[in-house]
């Protein structure tokens, strides 16, 4: 498991190459910044990645003191899959 800043956890991402991981961290960091600005009670963001054949499956759990938001996405492109899952969390935050 990879931890970013103590409250962001990436599970299943350790097998990715360094260049891909840098982009993933940037995407996650940007979404987390937006989410924390509108959710002062943010506690943790957990992303769980599974790769099956040529498809990525991603489960996202956004934990805050007032509850949890969950999202799932799957697709062939990891970056689009990640963005789709985090977009769902962003839209559901209200």
CATH of the domain at 32: 3.30.160.100
pLDDT of 77 higher than 60: yes
Residue 81 confidence (pLDDT) = 95
pLDDT at position 93: 54
pLDDT of residue 27: 92
Question: Got the DSSP string for the chain?
Answer: -EEETTTEEEES-TTS-HHHHHHHHHHHHHHHHHHHHH-TTEEEEEEEEEEETTEEEEEEEEEETTEEEEEEEEES-HHHHHHHHHHHHHHHT-
pLDDT (tens digit per residue) in 4-54: 887 999 999 988 999 999 999 999 999 888 888 888 888 999 999 999 888
Per-residue confidence at 80, pLDDT binned at 50, 70, 90?
very high
- Average pLDDT, stretch 51-76? 92
Give the residue-averaged pLDDT of 74-88. Answer: 94
The domain in which residue 78 lies consists of 2-92
Evaluate if residue 94 carries a pLDDT over 60: no
How many domains is the chain partitioned into structurally? 1
């Amino acid at each position: 498991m990879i931890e970013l800043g103590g409250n962001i956890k990436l599970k299943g991402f350790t097998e990715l190459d360094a260049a891909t991981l840098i982009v993933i961290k940037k995407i996650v960091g940007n979404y987390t910044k937006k989410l924390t600005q509108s959710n002062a009670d943010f506690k943790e963001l957990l992303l769980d990645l599974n790769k099956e054949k040529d498809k990525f499956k991603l489960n996202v759990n956004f934990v805050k003191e007032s509850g949890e938001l969950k999202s799932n996405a799957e697709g062939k492109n990891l970056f689009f899959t990640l963005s789709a899952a985090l977009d769902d969390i962003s839209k559901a935050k209200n």
